[in-house]
């Protein structure tokens, strides 16, 4: 029996340390049964930001095992949809094999915010919540498309 592969959604950001991991975790939680969700960066930082991990734990999503990846890792994989979450990644985004869709949804970079630890955490939460609304709506739309086809 042939296994049907889930379409792959690749979320890109420059550093692949914060926003793309927030989005990957949220979309995977919302649509992991429908989509394979990955993230990468055009210039990866080499780590996942600790505050990103912390604010995701607050909504019961564990991204502590994520790793910062370069988009080159995905150039030979079939990617159905690319979603860029920062302007630099949108400009540096190559076309991937099999790519059908491309979206750019820009979000503030909470890692660049300077302030107290409490203020930084508030910014990470705000960006997480903005991304949550966008990516959960995207997952619901994909689910509706699938239901309409069956």
Catalytic residues: 13, 86, 93
Give me the residue label for tokens 């302030």.
115
Structure tokens at 66: 């994520």
Q: Is 133 helix (H, G, I), strand (E, B) or coil?
A: helix
d(CA 39, CA 28): 11
Distance (Å, rounded) from C-alpha 14 to C-alpha 76? 19
Burial class (CB in 10 A: 0-12, 13-18, 19+), 136: middle
CA distance 9 to 37: 5
Least Cα distance to 22 among 119, 115, 126 occurs for 126
């Amino acid at each position: 029996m042939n296994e049907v592969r889930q379409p792959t959604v690749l979320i890109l950001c420059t550093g692949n340390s914060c926003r793309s991991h927030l989005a990957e975790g949220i979309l995977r939680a919302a649509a992991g049964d429908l989509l394979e969700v990955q993230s990468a960066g055009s210039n990866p930082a080499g780590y996942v930001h600790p505050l990103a991990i912390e604010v995701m734990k607050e909504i019961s999503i564990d991204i502590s095992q994520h790793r910062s990846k370069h988009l080159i890792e995905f150039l030979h994989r079939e990617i159905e949809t690319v979603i860029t979450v920062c302007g630099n990644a949108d400009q540096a985004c190559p076309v991937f094999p099999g790519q059908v869709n491309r979206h750019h949804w820009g979000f503030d970079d909470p890692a660049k915010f300077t302030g107290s630890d409490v203020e930084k955490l508030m910014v990470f939460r705000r960006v997480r919540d903005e991304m949550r609304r966008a990516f959960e709506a995207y997952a619901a739309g994909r689910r509706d498309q699938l239901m309409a086809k069956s």
